Amino acid sequence: MEKTPEQHNLLAQMRQVADGLGQTLAPFCEVVLHDLLDPAHAIVAIHNNLSGRGVGAPATALGLARAADPDFAQVIANYANTFADGRPAKSTSVGIKDSEGRYIAALCLNVDLTVFRSLNSLLTQFGSVDSAAGVSETLEPAGADAIRARIDRFAARLATTPRALKADERKALMRELKEAGLGDVRRAMEIVAAYLNVSRATVYNDAR
């Protein structure tokens, strides 16, 4: 079917979107642009090729279903998928309509979960500790946990987060810490500054 100028323009713009996403999400996410008006040769752009397909490959079953039904969901996010070689994937498909409400394209993102699952396994192994050793130690100054816990409770009462506290709220916090005796903890100002993500000078000023 001959495309209208509008449809040609939409596809051209989506090529740029696919290119930008491909560069941003490389190398872990495959970005594929499908022309749903030519389902037999649907793929018109593919970046970070993880599936082994190429330009000119046909539309998937999901693409065919979307092309046939203008009421098909426009966004299907984070659904389970599988590459041809069995690797697990997480996919998102976004349908693109023209001004007549007809699907003309689909932008698909396919993330290879194998890499992330392997990385998660490595991080879990690296972060594991031997609790059976019977030894527990902290490299933080004594009282640091008490200071952070008091800050968390203070922020919670205001329905905010520690890093979102305003100047007057920080001043009230510093008064509360002082009254609780936590201002005398060694390196207390550094602990507070790091937890609030402000400078030590700011904390000293708030404590005046």
State the pLDDT at residue 182. Answer: 87
pLDDT tens for each residue of 3-36: 999 999 999 999 999 999 999 999 889 999 999 9
Distance separating alpha carbons of residues 201 and 205, to the nearest angstrom: 6
Give me the mean pLDDT over the 140-149 stretch.
Answer: 78
Is pLDDT larger for residue 150 or for residue 47? 47
Pairing of strands 88-97, 43-47: unpaired
Bridge partners of 76, per DSSP, are 93
pLDDT of residue 125: 83
In this predicted model, what pLDDT tens digit does every residue of 100-122 receive, in sequence order?
Answer: 999 999 999 999 998 787 777 77
The total number of residues shown for the chain amounts to 208
3-state SS, residue 61: helix
